[in-house]
Amino acid sequence: MSTDKSKPYIPLAGGADDGWSQEHEATATCYCGGIQLAFPTQGPGLVDTFLCHCTDCRKITASMFASNFIVVDSHLRHLRGRENLKSYSQSRTIGSGKSMTNFFCSTCGSLMYRVGEAFPGHSILRIGTVDDFNLHETRLRPRIEQYAKDRVGWLHGIEGFEQVQGSAYRPKSSI
């Protein structure tokens, strides 16, 4: 782990080693490397960062919570592999009751982002796919923990993160 968090730190993680991190933009790459996105690392393109403990996020991440950041679609670039994305949507376990479409790498299964019908014009990316690991701790450090009511009992609220019992975002608001 590098100590200077202001400099990019891109460890080998998965099949690609061509991720990059610049002043205003950085990459997110799937596990096999076939899909690579570029996203803004500050506003207005970068809207917010949050953890979600909801039952849906636990299932879809095959883990205990999702670590997310919200990007305005006009600021999101597909660098490669867009044709290799597969999508799956449903609304049954989505807090808004509206459908959420998930975009996966069809080779390695990495969930790259989700798009909610209730939040048009935005994509929810995954902090864990971001190649510069120092961004996980700086500009992408989560600000909010939502659906804290669904958090697994052996985890506790993180100090300094705003705790929200349900959804932190109102559908069709300017999130």
Summarize as ranges the residues that interact with Zn ion (CB under 5 A).
Answer: 30, 32, 34, 52, 54, 57, 105, 107-108
* CB neighbourhood size of 97 (10 A): 11
Distance CA 8, CA 11 (A): 10
Query: From the CB of 92, what's the least distance to Zn ion, in Å?
Result: 13
Closer of 24 and 59 to Zn ion (Cβ): 59
Q: Which residue has the tokens 């992408």?
A: 140
Closer of 111 and 135 to Zn ion (Cβ): 111
Query: From the CB of 167, what's the least distance to Zn ion, in Å?
Result: 8
H-helix or E-strand containing 104? strand 100-105
Distance CA 88, CA 23 (A): 33
Closer of 5 and 38 to Zn ion (Cβ): 38
- DSSP conformational letter for 61: H
Closer of 3 and 34 to Zn ion (Cβ): 34
Query: From the CB of 146, what's the least distance to Zn ion, in Å?
Result: 7
H-helix or E-strand containing 133? helix 133-137
Q: Which residue has the tokens 């393109």?
A: 45
Query: From the CB of 55, what's the least distance to Zn ion, in Å?
Result: 8
